[in-house]
Amino acid sequence: MAVAIGTIVANLYYLQPLLHLIRGDFRVSTFAASSLVTLLQIAYAVGLITLVPLGDLVTRRRLVVVIFLLAGLAMALASFAQTFALFALSTLVVGLTSIAGQILIPFGADLADPATRGRSVGRLMTGLLAGALLSRTVAGFLSESVGWRGVYRAAAGALVLIALLLSRVLPDEVVRPRVTYPSLLGRTFRLFLDQPTLRRRCWYGGTAFGA
């Protein structure tokens, strides 16, 4: 699961060292190319708010597999895009689907033995951080031999392969209680309003990124 988390999180960072190649390929301005990074992060934030709660509505095994397949499809589509608009649309989907790690981490915690749960979560977080840190280096290195499109195609293949593996190794869960999607979103916002610790953590994270 740690490898799967690192692979899906890496999608958020492949773009950064490849921007100059993508800008030259599509012949767009530096501003237009750089805006893709912002688009990717905004889409990721939207995915955290709108897609992660689905883990309480459907089985997480099915949800994770579908998200990995969609992410692989989006990366493949981006690698074959011939227009900047199509590449930007693919980037939007990549950002939305990069939230699978935030579903797998609590899923892994639930599956772990209570006595070793802390160690298990630590390993999953290591996978997440490794994906974030190594993705730029890997993308830059591979792009020298296969170009930016080759990097995206390799990532797409890895995502589809992991989706197939997860469909086999992740256990099924009990049927989820019947709740509506709007009520799930409402609970998310109520948590923010009711939990001062959560609000403080959001503030700390936001100011850290802003700095």
- CB atoms under 10 Å from CB of 148, counted, come to 23
Count structural domains, the chain: 2
CA–CA separation, 207 and 210 (whole Å): 5
Average pLDDT, the chain: 91
In this predicted structure, the answer to whether residue 194 has a pLDDT above a threshold of 80 is yes
152 Cβ contact list (under 8 Å, min separation 6): 14, 75, 76, 78, 79
Residues 164 and 193 in one domain: no
Residues 208 and 141 in one domain: no
Confidence check: pLDDT of 178 > 80:
no
Question: Does one domain contain both 185 and 169?
Answer: no
Same domain (yes/no): 55, 150: yes
The contacts of residue 49 (CB under 8 Å, 6+ apart) are: 185, 188
**pLDDT tens digit string along 53-96?**
888 888 889 999 999 999 999 999 999 999 999 999 999 999 99
DSSP conformation letters of 73-141: HHHHHHHH--SHHHHHHHHHHHHHHTTHHHHHHHHHHHHS-GGGHHHHHHHHHHHHHHHHHHHHHHHHH
Residues 121 and 198 in one domain: no
Do 101 and 193 lie in one domain? The reply is no
Domain that residue 67 falls in: 2-178
Pair (119, 207) in one structural domain: no
Lowest-confidence segment of 8-22, 27-41, 49-63, 181-195 by average pLDDT: 181-195
The answer to whether the Cα torsion of 107, 113, 114, 115 is positive or negative is negative
pLDDT in tens, 157-169: 999 999 999 999 9
| Domain harbouring 134, CATH code | 1.20.1250.20
Q: Quick one: 172 and 191 in the same domain?
A: no
- For the entire predicted model, the pTM comes to 0.90
Please tell me whether residues 20 and 84 are part of one structural domain: yes
Q: Which residue has the tokens 């280096």?
A: 137
- Token pair 């237009």 is found at 32
The answer to whether residues 166 and 186 belong to one domain is: no
Q: 27: closest CA among 79, 89, 87?
A: 87
Are 200 and 101 members of one domain?
Answer: no
Answer for the pair 68, 59: CB distance below 8 angstroms, yes or no: no
Of 102, 78, 74, 33, give the one whose Cα is nearest residue 160: 74
Say if residue 163 is in the same domain as residue 196: no
Among 36, 68, 66, 58, residue whose Cα is nearest residue 162: 68
For 64, phi then psi, to 5°, come to -65, -45
